[in-house]
Chains A and B, each alone.
Chain A
Amino acid sequence: NAGVTQTPKFQVLKTGQSMTLQCAQDMNHNSMYWYRQDPGMGLRLIYYSASEGTTDKGEVPNGYNVSRLNKREFSLRLESAAPSQTSVYFCASSEVGPSGRWVFGPGTRLTVL
């Protein structure tokens, strides 16, 4: 039982390059999320998927796209990376309901030069 896994752990991009961050969970959770964490800003929601086949924008979706590939996998794509997207990205999954269990992945540290 690995929980939530993210790849890669580290990435350096040049401005304008594209990349996809991968996330997978093995807990049979319906909901999955992508957050970014910046110093002094806390975690901010980028996109989420309440269930397989659905995706919705969060607080800061500009410059990102997502795909809920199946119940286990939720990917985040940067089409044209910008220095403002330098951040630590966390994927999370949760059970349904306000008291549902939430699990975060270990994060991907992205630097855009």
Chain B
Amino acid sequence: TQLLEQSPQFLSIQEGENLTVYCNSSSVFSSLQWYRQEPGEGPVLLVTVVTGGEVKKLKRLTFQFGDARKDSSLHITAAQPGDTGLYLCAGAPGNQFYFGTGTSLTVIP
């Protein structure tokens, strides 16, 4: 049983489109992270959110932590080919992070 469910599992969109990726759980998290991973490389941390309802922006990426601290979303505006990769969320119900299975995003030029 996966602690964190990510949706969609795969996403293929045209350059310039907007998209949202979801990370859901029945557990409450003290903090939640989002990573991007490219083929053959380790995950790279994009953001950490710790407060329910928190919204963080990183250029064209907007991250939101649910009010109940059980879910999160990642919204990308005007996607670019450089956004292509595997997006992973990781939540810490205690002092360790558990990862979702990821959303594989392909942005077509």
Interface residues of A (CB under 8 A from B): 4, 35, 40-45, 48, 50, 58-59, 90, 92, 98-107
17 contacts between A and B (CB under 8 A): A40-B101, A41-B101, A42-B4, A43-B43, A43-B88, A43-B99, A45-B97, A50-B95, A99-B31, A99-B48, A101-B45, A102-B33, A102-B45, A102-B48, A104-B42, A106-B41, A107-B41
For residue A55, give the distance in angstroms from its CB to the closest CB of chain B. Answer: 13
* A42-B88, A107-B41 known; A98 vs B48 contact (CB < 8 Å): yes
Question: How many inter-chain contacts with C-beta < 8 Å in the A-B complex?
Answer: 53
Asked if residues A98 and B30 are in contact (CB atoms below 8 Å), the reply is yes
- Bound CA span A100–B31, Å: 11
Count residues on chain B whose CB falls below 8 Å from chain A CBs. 25
For residue B32, give the distance in angstroms from its CB to the closest CB of chain A. Answer: 9
Q: Taking chain B's interface residues, is the majority helix, strand, or loop, or is none over half, making it mixed?
A: loop
Asked if residues A90 and B98 are in contact (CB atoms below 8 Å), the reply is no
